[in-house]
A and B are shown apart, each in its own frame.
Chain A
Amino acid sequence: MTLEAVFDVVAAVCIAAGALLSLSAGIALIRFPDLMSRMHAATKPQTLGLLLVLLGCGLRLGAGPEVLTLLLIALFQLATAPVAAHMVGRAGYRDRRLRADLLIVDELAADADRIGREEDGRRSGERPPS
């Protein structure tokens, strides 16, 4: 069994694992009850799944300039996926698109209430110069 055959098998396993992570995210998107838990599930193919598939692709393509492209994709995905998820989560929290009865602890609630009261007080008090 040559080294290339071993690499092919490892690549196939990596890509299959990435595909299964994608499938698990798809099932969870259907089954999970609210936005936050769906977000939790949707990040699996975005980071780990894509990284596994990229690793498999790198093993198949071998050394060369294509590896740099794969590395660029991986770095970009690792940098942008948390930012996008943060934006979506913040928007969801502000719109109350979460099931409070499913939360064990809501660490943001106290601060969100305080900021809301401060802004309400400012709004009902003197009008700021526009």
Chain B
Amino acid sequence: MTVALVLVSVVFALAGALALVRIIRGPSILDRMVATDCLLAVVLAAVVAEAAYTRDATSLPVVVVLSVLGFTGSVAVSRFATRGRRRNEPEPPVKGRGDDS
């Protein structure tokens, strides 16, 4: 079981690090928001996996609260991101094309 713990921890850490890279580099705020949601999901899964390893449900309410916070944050940021552009302004150029892949 300890081998499984180490493997799962490494995989979760790698996934979180990759999401963090996208948060840092993401060209728009929505890319960062998507990556933040993903990072939050990874953290949720890691906390649940920790609860499974220790057979201790103490940290499960943390998961509930984090899930609520992630939802409200994502909705608030996407509302904020659309506000401000008027309909008859010229359309902004397509973003997110200039990065690597």
Contact = CB atoms under 8 A, between A and B. Distances in A.
A109 B70 CA distance: 30
A48 B67 CA distance: 15
A61 B14 contact: no
Nearest to A41: B38
Contact of B45 (A45, A90, A100): A45
Given A57-B52, A95-B92, A99-B96, A88 B45 contact: no
Nearest to A29: B22
Contact of B17 (A26, A56, A84, A96): A26
Interface string A7-40: 0100110011011101101110111111100110
A79 to B, nearest CB: 9
A76 B55 CA distance: 22
Contact of B97 (A45, A73, A83, A99): A99
Contacts of B31: 35, 38, 97
B37 A26 contact: no
Contact of A66 (B37, B57, B95): B57
A39 B15 contact: no
Contact of A69 (B1, B8, B37, B60): B60
Contacts of A80: 67-68, 70-71
Interface of B: 1, 4, 7-8, 11-12, 14-19, 21-22, 28, 30-31, 33-35, 37-38, 41-42, 44-45, 48-49, 51-53, 55, 57, 60-61, 63-64, 67-68, 70-71, 74-75, 78-79, 81-82, 85, 87-88, 91-92, 94-97, 101
Interface of A: 8, 11-12, 15-16, 18-20, 22-23, 25-27, 29-35, 38-39, 41-42, 45-46, 49-50, 53-54, 56-57, 59-61, 64, 66, 69-70, 72-73, 76-77, 80-81, 83-84, 87-88, 90-92, 94-100, 116, 119-120, 123-124
